[in-house]
Amino acid sequence: MRVVVSGGSGFLGSHLCEALLRRGDSVRCLDNFASSSSANVAPLLREPGFECIPCDVTVPFRVSGGVDAVVHLASPASPFDYARLPLETLAAGSQGTENMLRLAVRHRARFVLASTSEVYGDPRVHPQDEDYWGNVNPVGPRSVYDEAKRFAEALTMAYRRSQGTDAGIVRIFNTYGPRMRAHDGRVVSTFIRQALRGEALTLFGDGSQTRSFCYVDDMVRGLVAMIDTHRPGPFNLGNPGERTVRQLAELVLLITGSGSGLRFLPLPVDDPVRRRPVITRAREELDWHPRVPLEEGLRHTVDWFASQPDTLARPRERPAVGRPS
């Protein structure tokens, strides 16, 4: 297949590009590197089927040649990034989604939207299945990401219903693995960075809030399965194994052998208390479920961070320029 991936140089996007190339697809990665790194796809530039195109998908653009599938991953995806780039996050979910949909329409291609578990907000239903409409604060500090993705879902389904676009939606739950940015504000990367540097691990609240962590290889298999089907979804993609944030911190300390302690901070506004996906629909319709246990995935991730010591130091703050793709 000939696949266009927006946000393809990001953490998840680069793994997806790599997996598609490995199975023989050609891939064009669109990115403006506002919240990602070209280093993630640098090894792929030697592949004859890969092209990385600097591009802001929130403004009209053209892609030459044929296209069989379009995957829209472009968006700041960590609390640090969408707090730094609020307007750009909203643009990626609105104009960016529509421009990628128009690309799919022009080429009669399959379109896959990478949505998020954040569409469920701080859920009042637990665990969360795809029929739950969510509990989102539309004016809170997290709203730029949550509502951008909710709008993107509505837009995707409008194109499917009105234009006959072969479009589908996946809702991605917490994903981790190599190539995460050490300072992206996500809990796994933060804990690993702090443990390897001998710093106290920072927990918000009492650490009893729960998350479900899915290793990146498993998530990529789900995305590829979604590319290869014509089903609309939405599908929850995530690990149904639920852990408290404190349990995660203790596991990271065990794996790293760090003597770091724990430091507790006030709970952020609108931080979800519990998060766990129901993946019955993905099991039945995509034949997908996660395979990598949390302990194994964390060991791979810790090993990767340990091999990248320069990334653990605090970087200079990125300028908030351009719109992310």
295 band by pLDDT with thresholds 50, 70 and 90: very high
In a domain, 318, yes or no: no
pLDDT in tens, 203-246: 999 999 999 999 999 999 999 999 999 999 999 999 999 999 99
323 band by pLDDT with thresholds 50, 70 and 90: very low
**Catalytic site residue from 82, 120, 145, 215:** 145
Residue ranges making up the domain that contains 111 = 2-312
Residues ≥6 apart with Cβ < 8 Å to 117: 128, 171, 172, 173, 174, 236, 238, 275, 277
In a domain, 158, yes or no: yes
Pairing of strands 2-6, 110-116: unpaired
Find the mean pLDDT for residues 307-323: 64
Residues 93 and 74: their CA atoms lie apart, in Å, by: 8
Residues 20 and 228: their CA atoms lie apart, in Å, by: 11
* The pLDDT of residue 89: 97
CATH number at residue 97: 3.40.50.720
300 band by pLDDT with thresholds 50, 70 and 90: very high
Q: Is 145 a catalytic residue?
A: yes
* The pLDDT of residue 315: 61
How many structural domains is the chain composed of? 1
Q: Above pLDDT 70, what percent of the chain? A: 96
In a domain, 79, yes or no: yes
In a domain, 323, yes or no: no
In a domain, 317, yes or no: no
In a domain, 173, yes or no: yes
pLDDT in tens, 148-176: 999 999 999 999 999 999 999 999 999 99
In a domain, 320, yes or no: no
Angle between helices 187-196 and 294-306 (to 10 degrees): 50
In a domain, 160, yes or no: yes
Which of 263-296 are b and which e, b meaning 16 or more Cβ less than 10 Å from the residue's Cβ?
Answer: eeeeeeebebebbbbbbebbeeebebebebebee
Prediction pTM value: 0.94
